Amino acid sequence: MQRVERVVLAIDIGGTKMACGLVTADGELLASERITTPRSDDADVLFGALEQACRRVIGTHAAQPLAIGVGCGGPMRYPEGIVNPVNIHAWREFPLRERLSTAFELPCTVDNDAKALAVAERWRGAGQGANNMLGMVVSTGVGGGIILDGQLLHGETGNAGHVGHIIVWPDGPPCGCGARGCVEGIASGSGLARRVGAALAEGRPTILGPDATAADVAVAARGGDLLAQELYCTAGDAVGRGIASAAAVLDLERVVIGGSIALLAWDLLGPPLEAEVRARARLDFTRNLKVVRAELGDQAGLFGAAQLALALL
């Protein structure tokens, strides 16, 4: 008898990009598509772009999905799947799970994108074999997913793991959440861009312009621009402090770091990050903490979302 292939639709949503793919229960990515997150204040424009991308992916393969899993930037109401992403301003109290389930007539689950990364890296990446780990995304925002005793933590409202909003620089740069000195406000792509603007307003010398992105800052830092180098050094410091704090609270064995900033600028972010972890994680049970880069690259979100969907079957 021929084995029936179980396939799910996996969706990864962030402030910069949206991705979707068909993934099997064995972890094979059959088809995928990536689009830029539309710059629109209309919630339905964003959803329409996502829906059409998903339909194109589904149409490329004979196997039809049995469920939908979504990793989306937070915060959100879980398990209702009502999202309020800090870096997607058009979606406020947006019923993402209900809209997707209705559009495709499939069961759907929506969770935080960083939690999806943690699940993915433990399944197929750098977190394999770790039962107590933090999966961390450093991208447009900074998020995290926590696995303790082999179980993904959800918390009271499903938002456990928001390590990007640990305060590591009192009265530091503003964050999109409204606080100051968050890891996200210092080290994320959006945070780095805001910090460039603040530095220019202060008259700091730099080759960077007012529209500089995190990628631009990385290029300038490698070229010797002192402001750009300072921005990435302090970003690494911030992430390292956040990790040390999380390790002390959670008794972790491993931290896996992914996301676009970690991918494009680990040479700039990694050294100060690792030095800060060594300097700050001083308790006996934190000294053997391993901090590693994610292995699944920009596909981590899809594999994590697939795992979320497979749990529905």
Tell me the per-residue pLDDT of 243-272, one tens digit each, with 9 for 90 and over. Answer: 999 999 999 999 999 988 999 999 999 999
Statement to judge: residues 205 and 271 lie in one domain:
yes
Angle between helix axes 96-104 and 43-58 (nearest 10 degrees) is 40
Give the span between the Cα atoms of 274 and 276, in whole angstroms: 5
Statement to judge: residues 24 and 87 lie in one domain:
yes
35: CATH: 3.30.420.40
Does residue 123 form part of some domain? no
Portion of the chain with pLDDT greater than 90, in percent: 89
Tell me the per-residue pLDDT of 8-62, one tens digit each, with 9 for 90 and over. Answer: 999 999 888 999 999 999 999 999 999 999 999 999 999 999 999 999 999 999 8
Statement to judge: residues 285 and 215 lie in one domain:
yes
Element (H, E) at 83: strand 82-83
Average pLDDT, the chain: 95
Statement to judge: residues 158 and 201 lie in one domain:
yes
Which residue range is the domain that position 58 belongs to? Answer: 7-116+299-310
Looking at residue 93, its amino acid is E
Q: Is the pLDDT of residue 215 over 60?
A: yes
Provide CB contacts within 8 A for 155, sequence distance 6+: 161
Does residue 235 form part of some domain? yes
- Name which of 153-157, 249-253, 303-307 the model is least confident about: 153-157
Statement to judge: residues 40 and 179 lie in one domain:
no
Tell me the per-residue pLDDT of 186-213, one tens digit each, with 9 for 90 and over. Answer: 999 999 999 999 999 999 999 999 999 9
Statement to judge: residues 136 and 267 lie in one domain:
yes
Does residue 144 form part of some domain? yes
Statement to judge: residues 141 and 107 lie in one domain:
no
Statement to judge: residues 79 and 157 lie in one domain:
no
Statement to judge: residues 60 and 140 lie in one domain:
no
Does residue 149 form part of some domain? yes
pLDDT at 74 (0 to 100): 81
Statement to judge: residues 193 and 244 lie in one domain:
yes
Q: Is the pLDDT of residue 145 over 70?
A: yes
Provide CB contacts within 8 A for 165, sequence distance 6+: 175, 177, 179, 182, 183, 184
Statement to judge: residues 177 and 273 lie in one domain:
yes
What's the total number of domains in the chain?
2
Statement to judge: residues 94 and 159 lie in one domain:
no
Does residue 306 form part of some domain? yes
pLDDT at 2 (0 to 100): 42
